[in-house]
Structure formats: C-alpha cells, structure tokens
Structure 1
Amino acid sequence: MTSTPPQKSHIAHTLLSRAHSPDSATQQFTERIKQKPLFLRATSPTASDNRSRRRLHRLRKKEYFIRHQKPRPLSARQKRESGLYDLPKEECKYAIFKGLHELWVGYMHEILDVKGGAHISPVSHGSKLVSADYHGAEVEVVRSRCAGRVGVKGIVVRDTKFTFVVVTERDEVKTIPKEHTIFRFVVPVLGSEGDGKDQVEGADNSGYKPLAFELHGNQFENRPVDRANKKFKWRNIDYV
C-alpha cells in the first residue's frame, strides 16, 4: 500500500500566511491568485516576422504619402503610355536646340562666376560643376571602351541616370552610356577688358577663349534632380 506524498503549499499562500491570519490568507490566495485568469503572451516573433512587419509599415507609409500628394504623381507606366519622355523625330533638329545651348552657356557663366573674374579650380568649382544641369550642353566623347562612340558630338537633350541623349549636327539622335565614357564640354568665355584678341591665349577670332572640362561618366551616374542636393566626395578615378 503506497501513501500519497503531502502536497506542497503554493509559495504565494506561504507568503500570505506570514502576513495574515490563516482564514484571510486562504481567502486572498483563492480570490486574487488561484482564481485570477492568467494572460499568456503570444510567442515572440521571429526575425522574418519582424522584417515583414517593417516592410508592411514602410509600404503603408508610402501609400499614405502618395495618396495625400496633390497632384498625385504619374506612375512609370502612365509616363510611358503618355509619351512624356518621347522625342518627336521632326523636332530633333540641331538648329532647334542651338538656342538651348546658348542658354546653357549663360547658365554656366553664372555658376562659374566668370564675369566676376573668379579663378576656376577643381577645389572651388568642382562641386558646382558636378551639381550642374547639363541639358543643353554640347558634349563630345573623347574616350570610351566602344571605339565607335569616340568623336560623337552633340547637344544634350536628355540627361538620365545612366545615359546622355544628344542631337548631332547631322540631326541624328544618339544615346551614349555614361559608363566607361569620358565626355568633354567647352564653355566659351570672353577675354578680359584691356586684352587684345591676339593677347588671349587660345582665343578664336571673336575674342572668346574656351574653358574645356572633362566629365567622367563613371562618377556621374545620377539624375540631375539627385545631383542638385547630393554631397560629392573626392575619389580616385578609374580611367577607361
């Protein structure tokens, strides 16, 4: 015949019996501990669940931002269907964009402050040049991994993240990738007063001297709107 082992009292009942009478301790233990429902926490989420929750939160935040934008921006499909970025062939004439190039030259004069006689150097003007807009610039490919692109020259009519779309003097539209390509553009500057035309080194018959710059496409793969607010750092250049 086996005897049942004595049941151990609950630790909470033992502690209550030290501060209250036996009847009061039994009553409080029954009402406040034994019969009180125990709410269990759900299993802790895994790392993948946390990622999914954060991703869902980002998507909902983005949808809320887009939904409350006025006017609502066009989607990529709507832009393609509307032909927003299409260039009509009958309007891709070099003579038409020549006026745009003249406006761009004036824009570069303001950026470089050539009228104020400022000395142009990479330290003082490098950040301004890399943040500038090159729609209207007349660029020439001086080095490229594709030998067929070397010598191509035209006015930039579209500056995308990875390409320059130019119109040549023959009214041809060419798309030139920026990667592994070096472009050269020239900003004509009028010689300073008091200098004769023959005294200005490199000046042509009109008294203008060219300021030539080379643009390395590998370091320039950004949209114009992104370059305007981006801080650039000096880095080594990988020549193609």
Structure 2
Amino acid sequence: MASEPNEHIAESLLKRAHSPETASTIFREKVKQRPLLLRPTSPDPNLNARSKRQYERLQKAKKQCKSNKPKPLSAKQKRALSVHEIPKEQQKYAIYEPLHRMWCGYMREILGLSEGKRNHVDANSVGPVLVSADYHGALVEVVRSRCSSRVGGKGIVVKDTKFTFEIVTVKDELKIMPKEHAVFRFEVPFERKEEGSEVPKPLVFEIHGGQFEARAPDRANRNFRQHFDPDL
C-alpha cells in the first residue's frame, strides 16, 4: 500500500493561520502556480552562425576599446623609467640661464616692477605673491639651514617639488635642497630702460622654505603669515 504524500511545509504553516480552504487557495496561487521568471540567455554561438559572427564582432570591439585606452603609469613604473629625473647631459648651468632671465621678467611683472610704477615693495603686499609664484628658473642661495653643509649652496631651480628645490649649480652639478628648516635668498634685478641710465640695485628676498612645503600649483590658495622661526 502506497503511503500518502507528505504535506508541503508551506501548506501546513498556512493552515495554522488560516482556514483549510483559504490556506489551500493561498498555497495554490502563491506557491504552486507562481511563475518562475528567467533571464533570457544569449544564443550559443556554436549553434548559430549569425550569433557566432555577432559574438566575434563584440569581442573584437572590446579588445580594440581596451587597446585605445592605455593605462597610466604607476609611481613604481615612473621611478623605473626615470620620468621625472633630469638626464645627466642636461644638468648644465648654461642650459638654464635663459630660463633664469625669463623668470626675472616674470617676477618683475607679477611684482609690478616691469612698467616702472614702483621701485620698492613691502612684505604685506608681496608676501602672498611670493608664496604663489613659480620658482622654476629662480637663482636661489641657501643662507641659513640646520645643516651647515647646505649653507652657501647656490643654483638655478630646475624642479620645485613639495619638499625640495632641485638646483643646477655653476659647476654643472644637480643638488637637492630640502625646504624644511632652511632660508633661501634670491634677487630680482630691475630692467634697464635706456642706454646709459642708472639701474637701481636689485631687490633681495629671503623666503622660509617651511612656508613653501607644497607643490607650486597648490600654493596659490595658501595664506601668507609673517612669523619668526625659532629653529633657525
């Protein structure tokens, strides 16, 4: 004698809360006859020639899209390729002398000295200008530093990083000067107006490297504050 089929657990649970007729109706409509929604699958390219051609075109387009968008180099790859390093044959002082002359004209322009409007400046007015200025091409000299061996180092700035000035000296040497706990001096000469006319003495500035510990584009939004650095 065949045993009676076991009652579905969902139906038995429904009978606890509803009458047998209501429980059977709910079980039939919500469980047994509930439609099963399936996501349509892509046709098998091995069974259909047209689908196979479409699949191959799609894969080819994906590969071409990836090949047209090269990935940027990582920091490790940049160091291995020496992307940001100056080659030895370009570490010549004479190469950067025209850059220094251009920089002097740039500084005269942003300080308002190029048109002869004034021949002197003060810290309150030019402080924010100096902080946000670009120092690539500046002829700087270390006048104070915690490290005595760095004092007297002088050269043209060829790279202004967040924490250092990289300079090329007259002896065609590339030196890295940390900004922290150091004071740099540079001069901005006046432009000669006429032949034989007397040229005023150049303006001499001293900047604290600790206030310049940021990339050149990021310094434009920083506030200039006058303070005495007790570490120097």
Shorter-chain-normalised TM-score: which range? 0.5 to 0.7
Q: CA 1:72–1:223 in 2, change beyond 3 Å: closer, same or farther? A: farther
**2:28 corresponding residue in structure 1:** none
How many residues are treated as equivalent by the alignment? Answer: 163
Name which of 215, 224, 227 aligns with 2:216.
224
Cα deviation, 1:13-54, whole Å, max 9, x if unaligned, reads xxxxxxxxxxxxxxxxx88xxxxxxxxxxxxxxxxxxxxxxx
2:143 matches 1:152: no
* Corresponding letter in the other structure for 2:97: K
Q: CA deviation at 1:73?
A: 4.9
Indicate if the aligned counterparts of 2:127 and 2:224 stay in contact, CA closer than 8 A. Answer: no
> Separation in 2 of the partners of 1:127 and 1:144?
23
> Separation in 1 of the partners of 2:105 and 2:70?
33
> Separation in 2 of the partners of 1:74 and 1:110?
37
Name which of 206, 216, 221 aligns with 1:214.
206
Indicate if the aligned counterparts of 1:191 and 1:209 stay in contact, CA closer than 8 A. Answer: no
* Corresponding letter in the other structure for 1:76: A
**2:101 corresponding residue in structure 1:** 102
Q: CA 1:237–1:94 in 2, change beyond 3 Å: closer, same or farther? A: same
> Separation in 1 of the partners of 2:225 and 2:70?
38
Indicate if the aligned counterparts of 2:164 and 2:177 stay in contact, CA closer than 8 A. Answer: yes
* Corresponding letter in the other structure for 2:213: E
Name which of 218, 236, 239 aligns with 2:227.
236
Cα deviation, 1:172-229, whole Å, max 9, x if unaligned, reads 1111111111000001013677x952xxxxxxxxx3521100010111111112113x
**1:82 corresponding residue in structure 2:** 81
Indicate if the aligned counterparts of 1:185 and 1:212 stay in contact, CA closer than 8 A. Answer: yes
> Separation in 2 of the partners of 1:72 and 1:209?
52
Identical-pair percentage:
55
Secondary structure at the aligned position of 1:209 is classed as coil
> Separation in 2 of the partners of 1:145 and 1:113?
34
TM-score (norm 1): 0.61
List structure 1 runs of 4+ shifted beyond 4 angstroms. 70-73
**1:16 corresponding residue in structure 2:** none
Indicate if the aligned counterparts of 1:101 and 1:136 stay in contact, CA closer than 8 A. Answer: yes
Secondary structure at the aligned position of 2:190 is classed as strand
> Separation in 1 of the partners of 2:107 and 2:71?
33
**1:161 corresponding residue in structure 2:** 162
Secondary structure at the aligned position of 1:219 is classed as helix
TM-score (norm 2): 0.63
Indicate if the aligned counterparts of 2:131 and 2:224 stay in contact, CA closer than 8 A. Answer: no
Q: CA deviation at 1:128?
A: 0.9
> Separation in 1 of the partners of 2:186 and 2:70?
37
Indicate if the aligned counterparts of 2:136 and 2:158 stay in contact, CA closer than 8 A. Answer: yes
Gaps of 5+ in 1: 1-29, 32-69, 198-206
**1:5 corresponding residue in structure 2:** none
> Separation in 1 of the partners of 2:213 and 2:95?
27
- Aligned alpha-carbon RMSD (Å): 2.4
> Separation in 2 of the partners of 1:109 and 1:134?
13
Q: CA 1:98–1:196 in 2, change beyond 3 Å: closer, same or farther? A: closer
> Separation in 1 of the partners of 2:97 and 2:143?
21
Gaps of 5+ in 2: 1-16, 19-68
